[in-house]
């Protein structure tokens, strides 16, 4: 497993990001803010709560240790 974090350009729209991801992943978790400013998430059926939390923690650790700024 690679530790590569590929963050798209900040000017990419949500639709552009999702379109770019098509066909690349077997299991996904999508997090985002709706137009009503509500935080929402959707995941593939194959991911249970334990796997979702693990994925979030691994990604959080990768961003922190890679030195990316979090605003």
The β-bridge relationship of strands 29-33 and 39-43 is: antiparallel
Domain positions in the chain: 23-66
**What does the pLDDT look like over 21-31, one tens digit per residue?**
899 999 999 99
pLDDT of residue 71: 52
Cα torsion 43, 47, 50, 56: sign = negative
Confidence check: pLDDT of 4 > 60:
no
pLDDT in tens, 26-66: 999 999 999 999 999 999 998 999 999 999 999 888 888 87
Task: Identify the pLDDT of residue 66.
Answer: 78
Given this model, what pLDDT does residue 68 score?
54
pTM: 0.67
């Amino acid at each position: 497993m690679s530790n590569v974090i590929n963050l798209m350009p900040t000017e990419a729209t949500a639709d552009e990001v999702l379109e770019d991801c098509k066909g690349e992943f077997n299991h996904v978790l999508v997090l985002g803010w709706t137009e009503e400013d509500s935080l929402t998430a959707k995941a593939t059926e194959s991911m249970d709560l334990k796997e979702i939390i693990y994925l979030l923690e691994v990604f959080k650790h990768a961003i922190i240790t890679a030195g990316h700024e979090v605003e």
